[in-house]
Amino acid sequence: MRSLNRRSFFRAGAGIAGAFGMQNLLAAVEDNSTPYHRPKLKITDVKSANIVGFHVRIYTDQGLYGDGEGVDAVSGGPSIVQGFRYSLVGQSPLNIEGIWERIRTSGVFGGAQAGQYVATLTAVEIALWDLAGKALNLPIYQLMGGKLRDRIRVYCDCGTDDRNDPQAKAYINQVIENNFTMTKIDVDDAADPARFDRVNWTANNAEIDHMIDKVQFMRESLPKNIELAVDMHARYDLGTAKRVAKEMEPFRLVWLEEPVPPENIDAMKNVRDSTHTPICCGENIYMRWGFRELFEKQAVDIIMPDIQKCGGLMEGKKIADMAHAYYIPIAPHSQASPIGAMATAHMLATVPNFLVVEWHWSHPATRWERWKNFVKEGDIIEKGYIAVPDKPGIGVEMNEEYLRKLPGVNWFPA
Ligand code: MG
């Protein structure tokens, strides 16, 4: 009954969230409640787990917990998250902006502007949003200002791009039969026999011919209404990037991704200025300060921050809003499980300049099987879209019974 009382209290506070925004939410709830009903929700513990990826769970004194996920830059995440304990335990999980800023600024001398520190903080931030939503009985999109769309367009990373691949037809048919409206391929090939050097990434004519053939093959195999993007994985030098971008122009790609490494924004702009092929980058850039120069120099056509890596849901929304000021759409990179993917979907529902989000679990078949069973709600992608749920928090719950049986799973150890 204690839980019901708390929920009914927070239901009364639901309107307050929309009116004041998250920063002032805690103060508003406290101002509008009596001392007898004032929320006493406090964080009691934070744990992390390896569940196919890196997951964080934040616990409270009222039995509610929140789940978050970080990706890519999470090696060392379990020890980093324990370093965040002193900023979390005893705090109200509703004070998300305050907790985030305290952890970020306290880590400045430890590299808190990028990498593992920010990716781990990202997982914590998402867990706080899940917790706040559960405590207030509201979906995350509602806490972030309300939704502009009910469903989120997803593109399927294809898994093949080689006309000699015996699996090619099956992978391409998966994209078509599951009603995806877009797919992506990788044209960088470290094992290309035409390469002269194992280290340097200046592509020769034969390598560029191979890249064009991959795109040609995909365009021949896909119906016209399925769009195509191409990833170069931040490997190549400037001259190669410009040559490839030019060669790709007839294929009318949605974008060419990371044609050069992301840290030299002038080089990225040089590529963009040289071609009609739209240029996209962002999965290796962190927080709004990382993206600032990209916008100011107008070095890209599309950004693709990873919302499980760039700083979190609110940071992703701030980056999206900055992009909006420059008329740049956001098309997030994503490797996340359905927990991270659905958290991302809530945020993307609230920004006007959302284009499409990645999905990378279609291959091999065992990975897709895990995707379908990861949360109790089953496969959250239907006909190429994720419907944003109205349940509290992220709105999907891990299928513990299934996940505990997977190899390598380390379920929130004490
Ligand atoms: Mg990429």
- Cα(15) to ligand 1 centroid in Å equals 40
Q: What pLDDT was estimated at residue 20?
A: 46
CA 60 to centroid of ligand 1, rounded, Å: 37
Lowest-confidence range among 75-84, 203-212, 339-348, 360-369? Answer: 360-369
How far away, in angstroms, is 256 Cα from ligand 1 center?
Answer: 10
State in Å: Cα 22 to ligand 1 middle: 32
How many angstroms separate the alpha carbon of residue 111 from the centre of ligand 1?
A: 23
pLDDT score of 112:
87
Percent of the chain with pLDDT over 90: 85
Buried b (16+ CB within 10 A) or exposed e, 129-165: bbbbbbbbbbbbbbbbeebebeebbbbbbbbbbbeee
Residue 289 contacts residue 113 (beta carbons within 8 Å): yes
Q: How far is the CA of 282 from the centre of ligand 1 (A)?
A: 9
* Cα 235 from Cα 186, distance rounded (Å): 12
Confidence of residue 24 (pLDDT cuts 50, 70, 90): low
pLDDT of residue 227: 98
The pLDDT score that the predictor gives to residue 28 is 63
- Lookup result for tokens 């840290």: 263
Ligand 1 geometric centre to CA of 373 (Å): 26
Ligand 1 centroid–CA 327 distance in Å is 22
Helix (H) or strand (E) holding 358: strand 357-359
pLDDT at 15: 42
Q: How far apart are CA 140 and CA 134, in angstroms?
A: 9
pLDDT digits 0-9 by tens, 278-299: 999 999 999 999 999 999 999 9
Q: Band of the pLDDT at 4, cuts 50, 70, 90? A: very low
- Output the pTM of the full model: 0.90
With bands split at pLDDT 50, 70 and 90, how would you rate the model's confidence at 9? very low
Ordered by start, the domain boundaries in the chain are 6-138, 151-391
Taking residues 84-96, what's their average pLDDT?
96
89 closest CA partner among 64, 66, 59, 117: 59
Give the CA distances from residue 401 to residues 46, 212, 406, in Å, rounded to whole numbers and listed in that order.
21, 46, 10
Label residue 16 by pLDDT band (50, 70, 90): very low
Å from CA of 79 to ligand 1 middle: 27
Instruction: Give the pLDDT band of residue 8 (cuts 50, 70, 90).
Output: very low
* Interval between CA 339 and ligand 1 midpoint (Å): 21
Separation CA 313–CA 145 (nearest Å): 12
Q: Please state the rounded mean pLDDT for residues 131-159.
A: 95
DSSP letter, residue 112? T
User: What does the pLDDT read at residue 32?
Assistant: 57
pLDDT band at 110 (very low <50, low <70, confident <90, very high): confident
**What pLDDT was estimated at residue 47?**
98
CA of 229 to the centre of ligand 1 (A): 10
Residue 185 CA, ligand 1 centroid: distance in Å: 10
- Report the pLDDT value the prediction gives residue 165, as an integer from 0 to 100: 92
Rounded distance from Cα 119 to ligand 1 centre (Å): 17
Q: Which residues make Cβ contacts (< 8 Å) with residue 343, sequence separation at least 6? A: 68, 69, 126, 129, 130, 140, 307, 308, 313, 336, 394
Q: Which residues of 236-268 are buried (b: 16+ CB within 10 A; e: fewer)?
A: bebebbbbbbebbeeeebbbbbbbbbbeebebb
Instruction: Calculate how far, in angstroms, residue 303's C-alpha sits from the geometric centre of ligand 1.
Output: 11
pLDDT averaged over every residue in the chain: 92
92-106, 111-125, 156-170, 304-318: lowest mean pLDDT where?
156-170
12's CB contacts (< 8 A; 6+ apart) are 32
Confidence of residue 31 (pLDDT cuts 50, 70, 90): low
Q: How many angstroms separate the alpha carbon of residue 223 from the centre of ligand 1?
A: 23
How many A from CA of 71 to the centre of ligand 1? 13
Write out pLDDT tens, residues 350-396. 999 999 999 999 888 889 999 999 999 999 999 999 999 999 999 99
**Residues with Cβ within 5 Å of ion ligand 1?**
231, 257
Q: Give residue 259 CA to ligand 1 midpoint distance, Å.
A: 10
Q: pLDDT grade, residue 187 (50/70/90)?
A: very high
Please tell me the distance between residue 281's alpha carbon and the centre of ligand 1 in angstroms: 8
CA of 112 to the centre of ligand 1 (A): 23
CA of 104 to the centre of ligand 1 (A): 26
Indicate if the pLDDT at residue 100 is higher than 90: yes
| CATH entry, 151-391, from 3.40.50.410, 3.40.50.970, 3.40.50.1970, 3.20.20.120 | 3.20.20.120
Ligand 1 centre to CA of 103 (Å) is 28
- Is the domain covering 6-138 a CATH 3.40.50.880 domain? no
117 C-alpha to ligand 1 centroid (Å)? 21
Residue 55's pLDDT is what?
Answer: 98
